Amino acid sequence: MCQIITDDWWKDAFDKYYFKIYGKKTAQEQTTREVISLENVLQLAKGYKVLDLGCGYGRHAIPLARKGYYVVGADFSEFLLLKAQEDVTKNKLQEAIHFIRCAMRNPPFKSEFDAVINTFTSFGFFPDDETNFEVIRQISNSLKAHGRFLLDFTNSYYPRVQKDFSVQGDLISVEEETFDPLSGKAIVHWQIFKEGKIVKDVVCKFTRYTHRELERMFSEAGLGIETVYGDWDYSPFVYNSPRMIIIAVKGMKEI
């Protein structure tokens, strides 16, 4: 039977099964390296206010708060925000971080943040370019003058694994991706099995934007691209880089 693709797939995709798979799939050592890179490339200083847009269960937001930054985590998933809040309470970080539930296209902020981050390809979820651009525009609106924005996105030219299997406890995760180079749309059919039965079945569809397309969006939103890396190790961005990590500055042309 053909799986139906809906435009609002992201509303239900990031649930307890997502947490069980990806909450354990990403090693702590990797997160530690990424947080150090975030501090360096964003030139963070103690007391800076940081927005993690699409924060999920707080993988970056909580370590940043622990390092002395004031962090706001925003996400649409009630389940992931609950897990993040549980971690914050456990680590007694309530004064350093708080979470809000909102869609990426309408965060309720205006010139509040020294830095904004959007990581793990948490962009391009909406079906049309105009709505995805609205996300970038809202990020720019959320930044203070000369504030920095980091976008960690997939490199659209990087050869992808078309089918990925992983096992976490009693769960088997199967992700099968197809990509249409004409539209730039990636479609990921994600199924999770438990004891031979399907417990999660969702089709995720997002746009894998190129650097040039993002550069245009950033420019129209008042963000000037400062540099682009090919991964978290500061390697240069080339056609076969695994990631596209863009550092942009609000109003950079006016600096």
Give the separation between CA 119 and CA 103, rounded to whole angstroms. 15
For the stretch 24-48, pLDDT in tens is 777 889 999 999 999 999 999 999 9
Contact 132, 123 (CB under 8 A): yes
Give the separation between CA 25 and CA 137, rounded to whole angstroms. 32
Q: Where are the domains of the chain?
A: 10-156+210-254, 163-204
pTM for this model (two decimals): 0.95
Identify the CATH class of 10-156+210-254: alpha beta
For the stretch 202-215, pLDDT in tens is 999 999 999 999 99
For the stretch 78-129, pLDDT in tens is 999 999 999 999 999 999 999 999 999 999 999 999 999 999 999 999 999 9
